[in-house]
Amino acid sequence: SKVIGRTIYLHQQGITCKQDLLAYLQRIALYCHQLNICSKVKAEVQNLGGELIVSGLDSATSLIQAAKNLMNAVVLTVKASYVASTKYQKVYGTAAVNSPVVSWRMKAPEKKPLVKREKPEECQTRVRRGSQKKHISPVQALSEFKAMDSF
C-alpha cells in the first residue's frame, strides 16, 4: 500500500488529495516504527508454584494496539489511493487523460443470507422428563431448621 500510495501521490495534481495521501503514508511509517519497537520488548513469563505469571502484559497489549493502528493506517491509505486514482483526472499539458494510474480490480464480497434460517430439528423443542419432586412434610422441613439453630 505504501508503494501504491506513493505512486498515486506523485501523479496527482490536487493539493488536498496529495496532502491526505502524504499524511497517511507518514502514519504508516510511524506505526511501522512503533510496531518494531514494541516487538522488541518481550513479556516475561515466570513459573511460581506451578502457576504462570505474566509480567510485562502492557507490552503485549501495546503490541496489539500498534498492529491495529498500522492496519487502520493501511486501510485509510488504500481508500485514499482509490479515491485519488479514480475520481481525479491526470493532467498532461493542456489535455486531461482519463486513464487511471493504477488499475483496481474489486472482488465481490461473499453472499451471506439476510436472515439466518434455523434447521427444522432446532425449531422443535424436545420435551424431557424432569426429576420427580420429593414430598417432604412441613414438620420434617421445620425440624431441619431447628437443628441448625442449635449450633
pLDDT band at 135, cuts 50/70/90?
Answer: confident
Per-position b or e across 68-78, b if 16+ CB within 10 A of its CB: ebbeebbebbe
Name residue 96's amino acid: A
The yes-or-no verdict on residue 103 having pLDDT over 80 is no
The yes-or-no verdict on residue 139 having pLDDT over 60 is yes
**Angle, helix 2-11 to helix 15-40, in steps of 10 degrees:** 160
Let me know if domain 2-44+56-97 sits in CATH 3.40.50.2000: no
Measured distance between the N- and C-terminal CA atoms of the chain, rounded to whole angstroms: 75
Phi and psi angles of residue 118, each rounded to the nearest 5 degrees, phi first: -90, 150
Q: What is the largest CA-CA distance in the chain?
A: 105
pLDDT band at 141, cuts 50/70/90?
Answer: confident
The yes-or-no verdict on residue 144 having pLDDT over 70 is yes
pLDDT score at 72: 92
Phi and psi angles of residue 91, each rounded to the nearest 5 degrees, phi first: -120, 120
Q: How confident is the model over 24-83, as pLDDT tens digits? A: 888 999 999 988 888 777 656 566 666 656 666 667 788 888 889 999 998 888 888 787
pLDDT band at 93, cuts 50/70/90?
Answer: very low
Model pTM above 0.75: no
Domain ranges of the chain: 2-44+56-97
- For 11, residues 6+ apart whose C-beta sits below 8 A from its C-beta are 90, 101
Find residue 90's DSSP bridge partners.
97
